[in-house]
Structure 1
Amino acid sequence: MPAPGDSPGHRAGAAASPVAGAVVVRPRSAPGLSPSRANDYLQCPLLFRFRVVDRLPEPPSAAAVRGTLVHSVLERLFDAPAGQRTVEAARALLAPSWADMLVERPECSEVVEEDEGLSGWFGGAGQLLETYFTLEDPNRLEPAERELKVSTELEDGLLLRGVVDRLDVAPDGALRVVDYKTGRSPRAGYEGSALFQMRFYALVLARLRDRVPAMLQLVYLKDGTLLRHVPTPAELATTEKRVQAIWAGIRRTAEAGSWEPRTSPLCGWCAHQAICPAFGGTPPPIPEGAVELSLGVRPGGR
């Protein structure tokens, strides 16, 4: 489940740019943390502020919108009975899934290039779906849950939340947590961020179901790679401590108002360079009360 400032689903980007002079009011949920927002803070505290506190709009990116579309198709695919979950059936779901996306988020249409057209757009998404069928046979699967919103509160009051793409439950009750990725798999030794997300989900599910998941599985559709990991109770205990440490850092930063930028190669994909001090910009003032509303923290420790 998204934390405050999370984009819908995981993946289509933030809301369309507001009309000049208009006040955009979006509902906020209780302060908490999701894997994506935790990674935002670790990547750049200022980016976290822009997304969670200021809730600044970001234009949709082609990669994020395509990811949302493919996730939607893979969720709907399991509505069909076993035996009818084919590549052709998946491709046939692209158009209705896209139409539904545009009803909710019409700005997503901006990512389709004129010279590409819808046929080219669907073609790129279709290739990712074809790769999926080389990695799993959906006709042999009966997911217990799809797009499962999960949340749990730790003893210190921190609310953890997220959305699990798919949860498989074996006859003996063993849990397999599955997440689809439409990008490439990480290079050897660089799996940390992806595994942090999966361990985060495993921690939440273990608390909810009183059972450590037996398998964490990442399905990379760009290069056809499966990344599997067997979590342990000790790992999840370490993950809980790490999440609490990240949240403590967020609270300290919020109380001090020290939302400093942290530059990295990922800055090239940031939608907020124009207002980032690292690139000569000036961040806007934080809206009155936004820090306390978003994070339950008063700047200055008041």
Structure 2
Amino acid sequence: MADATRTTATAEPPATTDPAQDAVPVRRPALSPSRASDFKQCPLLYRFRAVDRLPEVPTKAQVRGTLVHSVLERLFALPREQRLPERAKELLEPVWTELASDCPEWTDLFEGDDDGEVESWLRSAGELVDAYFGLEDPRRLEPEACELHVETELSSGVLLRGYIDRLDVAPTGEIRVVDYKTGAAPRQIGEAKAMFQMKFYAVVLWRLRGVVPRQLKLMYLTDGQALAYTPDEAELVRFERTLEAIWQAILKAGRTGDFRPNPSKLCGWCSHQARCPSFGGTPPEYPGWPEPDPGEESVLDRAD
């Protein structure tokens, strides 16, 4: 997307006598769809991820999702006529090599696996790519952007920030937001979280462009299904208020350190049970509200 369609709401860095520090801008705390969803799901999970920033070991499925997202992004960088299933699957191994180079710790997931197991994992990624081609023909599309960073500030002062898998803009100006899903969370819970994420992007784009997205499209590659939804302005106004309320609740918890656990079916996917009081654990000492920015999403967040 061109710079004219983005809003940058970065705070001015505090005065300092260190030139090296002057060179690094301090970004304001922001709300991302993943972190907002974390707080809704479990305030303590939000704290572990956004405040304590505790490391999490990804699963092979999460890394596979990142790989598939990266392959689809590269696919749309190719000329239309080359956007074929065979060409997309040819990208799997070189893209995985690049990802492993950037995040060498991900290769530890395959320690002890033989070549056949790694090849089977890559084939499973290829099956997700095949499922994508069963849902649409990329040769007929020309997205405005893939893996698009968006950021805007609401009139209330809440800063929203996130990454959109794909943005399609019709010649008539209608906007479609597309998100690829490769995860295996329970479908009902997963769809609720995914739609929350999509409405978040819809609010950001509406505030950036003054246009309510015509369609929010979720593409479930595990089962080859798609879900499309059309929001309206009144709904986005209500959702914007929801985001503002979530941010105020986060700030209140941040001031007091009172991030309480909220046990649910999703606890089985949590990496922090050993530190959670609901499972007999003890959280680390509260470090205080973080600066400069607790809102950033990782590539694993974006891959879902």
Q: Is the 8 A contact 2:62 2:183 kept in 1?
A: no
Higher relative contact order (CA 8 A, sep 6+): 2
Aligned mates of 2:290, 2:83 — CA distance in 1: 46
User: Is the 1:166–1:179 contact (alpha carbons within 8 Å) kept by the matching residues of 2?
Assistant: yes
Cα-to-partner distance string for 1:258-280 (whole Å, 9 max, x where unaligned): 11111112111111111111111
1:227-285 CA deviation, whole Å, 9 max, x = no partner? 00011001110110000111111112122221111111211111111111111111111
Q: Report the Cα distance in structure 2 between the residues aligned to 1:178 and 1:157, rounded to whole angstroms.
A: 27
Q: Do the aligned residues in 1 keep the contact of 2:71 with 2:91 (CA within 8 Å)?
A: yes
Identity of aligned residues (%): 55
Correspondence for 1:96 among 83, 94, 97: 94
Instruction: Report the number of matched residues.
Output: 269
Partner letter of residue 38 of structure 1?
Answer: A
C-alpha distance in structure 2 between counterparts of 1:38 and 1:82, whole Å? 36
User: Which amino acid counterpart does residue 175 of structure 1 have in structure 2?
Assistant: I
Counterparts of 1:34 and 1:180, CA distance in 2? 17
For 2:245 and 2:149, the matched residues in 1 are separated by: 24
- The SS at the match of 1:142 is coil
Contact 2:254–2:289 under 8 Å retained in 1: no
Task: Give yes or no for the alignment of 1:177 onto 2:177.
Answer: yes
Question: What's the counterpart of residue 113 of structure 2?
Answer: 114
TM-score (normalizing by structure 2): 0.83
- Taking the aligned partners of 1:189 and 1:124, their CA distance within structure 2 comes to 24
Mapped partners of 1:50, 1:185: distance in 2: 20
Q: Which runs of 4+ in 1 moved over 4 A?
A: 184-190, 292-296
1:279 corresponds to 2:283: no
Structure 2: segments with no counterpart, 5+ residues: 1-24, 296-304
TM-score, normalisation: structure 1: 0.84
SS at match of 2:245: helix
Residues 184 and 221, structure 1, Cα contact 8 Å, conserved in 2: no
Q: Give yes or no for contact 2:255–2:289 (8 Å, CA) kept in 1.
A: no
For 1:189 and 1:275, how far apart are their aligned partners in 2?
A: 24
Partner SS, residue 238 of structure 2: helix
1:207 aligns with 207
- The residue that corresponds to 2:130 in the other structure is 130
Q: CA deviation at 1:28?
A: 7.6
Q: Quick check: 1:41 aligned with 2:49?
A: no
Shift of 1:130: 0.4
Residue by residue over 1:48-92, the C-alpha shift from the partner in whole angstroms, topping out at 9 and shown as x without a partner, is 001000111111211211110000000000121112111111111
Matched, 1:265 2:261: no
Q: What pairs with 1:1-302 in structure 2 (closer than 5 Å)? A: 29-112=27-110, 114-115=113-114, 116-183=116-183, 187=187, 191-287=191-287, 289-291=288-290, 293-294=292-293
Structure 2 distance, partners of 1:59, 1:209, is 37
CA offsets 1:138-172 (integer angstroms, 9 cap, x no match): 11111110100001001121100110000011111
Q: Which amino acid aligns with 2:275?
A: I
Distance in 1 of aligned mates of 2:52 and 2:184: 31
- AA aligned to 1:94 is L
Question: What RMSD in Å do the two structures reach over aligned CA positions?
Answer: 2.1
Unaligned runs of 5+ in 1: 1-26, 297-302
Structure-2 separation of matches of 1:235 and 1:290: 32
The 8 Å contact of residues 54 and 290 in structure 1, kept in 2 or not, is answered as no
- Mapped partners of 2:190, 2:68: distance in 1: 24
